[in-house]
């Protein structure tokens, strides 16, 4: 695996709290700082994609006159339409001052669900980088018909990193990195400098949402880091306000943020898409024999090992597989709807109708998450 100094393509994500002021307006000084660091990275030979949050926060600050932030989807979409151009104008001007051209790219969850849209997005971003442009990516909040936020853009940034075959994902936030505890309540909380494996204990440390302006918090950043490392991409969570943070991260300076080492065995693109890009429509509870067959022997899920079905799902939807301990251990694309799966749960393959595929979730469509 190549070291930090040899990374050629970087994806740098910066959160709402780091690009907006306390009153919610776009923080031109903060963006200019990062634009300068992007320029330095470009001068060092790296290609850079920026993923930025802040459109909704900036838009509401422009419109609100001090009123509380709304929560309904229609208003948030309208506010995003106002804030996005304000945010992009600051990014464009900041990069221009450093001799760089910005290219706005707005993505939605469906761009990662449908293969053709995924390929189009990859082609567009690749060509922008070839042209020497700095893509500035945000979620297309103004027209997205699903949840208005995509993990506070953390998950989006990780998927973009995979999309452009990045060598490094940098998640810039308002803390030094992942700490051993919440510094607001634990005075002795210290920085975790390196993570070799993301486990349940680490996820418990990360906790939930952090700021009013942002929606993801450290838990969202840890989830994004997990996507990255499963893609074979190194990830770092670091403080956006630290001077020269991007250069320090790319050079591998010790003590700058929390560094997540990539897995040696990575997921191919299709299985990464199944694991992280699409939401689960339901779940299937299985017995221990089925769990071991899937996890230890790489087998497909058959009706005989199914105990229960949860939720309403159709054929080709994503479902989570739950073991006897109640923990999710895998995710996959189901070949039959919930009604059929529930009807044939516990039955042997020879007892199924002749026209029904024996596999409920085929091993080619299964990802073990543990």
Read off the pLDDT of residues 229-263 as tens digits, 9 standing for 90 and up: 998 999 999 999 999 999 999 999 998 999 999 98
Three-class secondary structure of residue 75 per DSSP: helix
Q: Which residues pair with 237 in a beta bridge?
A: 171, 258
pLDDT of residue 7: 53
Q: What is the mean pLDDT of the chain?
A: 87
**Residue 289 pLDDT more than 70?**
yes
CATH of 279-368, one of 3.40.50.261, 2.50.20.10, 2.30.130.10, 3.40.190.170: 2.30.130.10
**Residue 211 pLDDT more than 50?**
no
> Percentage of residues in the chain with pLDDT exceeding 90?
55
In whole angstroms, what is the distance from residue 252 CA to residue 114 CA? 36
Task: Provide CB contacts within 8 A for 160, sequence distance 6+.
Answer: 11, 49, 51, 107, 125, 137, 166
Read off the pLDDT of residues 96-129 as tens digits, 9 standing for 90 and up: 999 999 999 998 777 776 778 888 999 999 999 9
pLDDT of residue 171: 96
**Residue 208 pLDDT more than 70?**
no
pLDDT category at 152 given cuts 50, 70, 90 is low
pLDDT of residue 8: 83
The CATH architecture one would assign to domain 4-270 is 3-Layer(aba) Sandwich (3.40)
Angle at 231 between CA 114 and CA 53, to 5 degrees: 70
Q: Enumerate the CATH 3.40.1160.10 domain ranges in the chain, comma separated.
A: 4-270
pLDDT category at 150 given cuts 50, 70, 90 is low
pLDDT of residue 139: 85
**Residue 213 pLDDT more than 60?**
no
Backbone angles phi, psi at 122, to 5 degrees: -65, -40
pLDDT category at 57 given cuts 50, 70, 90 is confident
pLDDT of residue 183: 72
pLDDT category at 145 given cuts 50, 70, 90 is low
pLDDT of residue 2: 43
**Residue 147 pLDDT more than 50?**
no
Predicted TM-score (pTM) of the model is 0.82
Q: Tokens 């949840």 — which residue?
A: 147
**Residue 13 pLDDT more than 70?**
yes
pLDDT of residue 215: 44
Read off the pLDDT of residues 307-348 as tens digits, 9 standing for 90 and up: 999 999 999 999 999 999 999 999 999 999 999 999 889 988
111 or 46: which leads in pLDDT? 46
């Amino acid at each position: 695996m190549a070291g930090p100094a040899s990374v050629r393509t970087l994806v740098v994500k910066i959160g709402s709290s780091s690009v907006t002021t306390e009153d919610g307006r776009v923080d031109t000084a903060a963006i200019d700082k990062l634009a300068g660091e992007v320029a330095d990275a470009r001068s060092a030979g790296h290609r850079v994609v920026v993923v930025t949050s802040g459109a909704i926060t900036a838009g509401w600050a422009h419109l609100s006159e001090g009123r509380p932030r709304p929560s309904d989807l229609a208003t948030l979409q309208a506010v995003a339409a106002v804030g996005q151009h304000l945010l992009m104008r600051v990014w464009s001007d900041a990069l221009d001052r450093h001799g760089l051209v910005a290219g706005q790219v707005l993505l939605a969850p469906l761009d990662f669900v449908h293969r053709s849209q995924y390929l189009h997005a990859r082609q567009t971003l690749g060509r922008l980088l070839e042209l020497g442009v700095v893509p500035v990516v945000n979620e297309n909040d103004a027209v997205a018909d699903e949840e208005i936020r995509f993990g506070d853009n953390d998950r989006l940034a990780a998927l973009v990193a995979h999309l452009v075959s990045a060598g490094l994902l940098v998640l810039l936030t308002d803390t030094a990195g992942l700490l051993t505890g919440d510094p607001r309540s634990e005075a002795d909380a210290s920085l975790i400098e390196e993570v070799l494996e993301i486990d349940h204990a680490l996820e418990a440390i990360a906790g939930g949402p952090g700021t009013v302006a942002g929606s993801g918090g450290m838990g969202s950043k840890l989830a994004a880091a997990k996507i990255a490392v499963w893609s074979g991409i190194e990830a770092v969570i670091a403080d956006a306000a630290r001077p020269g943070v991007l250069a320090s991260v790319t050079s591998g300076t010790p003590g700058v943020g929390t560094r997540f080492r990539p897995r040696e065995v990575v997921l191919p693109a299709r299985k990464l898409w199944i694991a992280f890009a699409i939401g689960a429509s339901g779940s299937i509870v299985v017995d221990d024999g089925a769990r071991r067959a899937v996890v230890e022997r790489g087998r497909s899920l058959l009706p005989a090992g199914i105990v229960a079905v949860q939720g309403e799902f159709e054929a080709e939807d994503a479902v989570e597989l739950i073991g006897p301990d109640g923990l999710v251990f895998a995710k996959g694309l189901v070949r039959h709807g919930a009604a059929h799966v529930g009807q044939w749960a516990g039955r042997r393959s020879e007892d199924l109708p002749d026209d029904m595929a024996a596999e409920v979730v085929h091993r080619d469509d299964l990802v073990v998450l543990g």
